[in-house]
Amino acid sequence: MSTYYNLLNAVASVVSGLTMPAAVRKLPAAEEAVDTLPLVCVVPQDRPEDVNPYAFGFTEVVYHVAVAVIRAGQHSLTTGLDVALDWRDRIIGAFNQPRHPTVAAAVPSLYDTRITPEMPVDRAALNLNYDYAVVGLDFRTTRPLGS
């Protein structure tokens, strides 16, 4: 499997360990016929990996992951904010360390994790039927040149 896919699955495993339903997806979206809300979608962010020269024959690759808490919004401006912000805060807390053991076990070349929070509530989606609260995670890894 690819490093990116291993990261996505490891992040979903960590989130599941927080007693939150998590799924790896291509996009942060709920499938109405299948999913029960609330749901946490673990997806690649909408930007490519960063690939930079490193030292001593290595390249640094930064993988960008979005962790989206999706709740039934019901077009409400008041309900559910407390739970969405609590889940978001718990996710930030879980990854507030350089090498989470579950992620490092899946990707041994991981050397640092950076939290890049997005808007606590996606205002553009408030009039839709769902509420989104997203946390961005940047996973810094190394790989030998030519691999």
pLDDT tens digits along 79-96: 778 888 899 999 999 999
Q: Are 41 and 29 in contact (CB under 8 A)?
A: yes
Cβ-Cβ contacts under 8 Å for 127 (sequence gap 6 or more)? 75
What is the pTM assigned to this prediction? 0.92
Q: What architecture (CATH level 2) is domain 3-29+38-144?
A: 2-Layer Sandwich (3.30)
- Alpha-carbon distance of 82 to 55, in angstroms, equals 45
Question: What pLDDT band is residue 103 in, cutting at 50, 70 and 90?
Answer: very high
Residue type, 133: A
**Backbone phi, then psi, for 35, in 5-degree steps?**
-85, 150
| Per-residue pLDDT reduced to its tens digit, 110-132 | 999 999 998 887 776 666 677 88
Q: Which two tokens stand for residue 58?
A: 């290595």
CB within 8 Å of 111: residues ≥ 6 apart: 98, 99, 140, 141, 142
In the chain, alpha helices (H): 3-17, 81-94, 101-106
Nearest residue to 67 (alpha-carbon basis) of 35, 127, 129, 24: 24
Query: Both tokens of residue 125?
Result: 């989606």
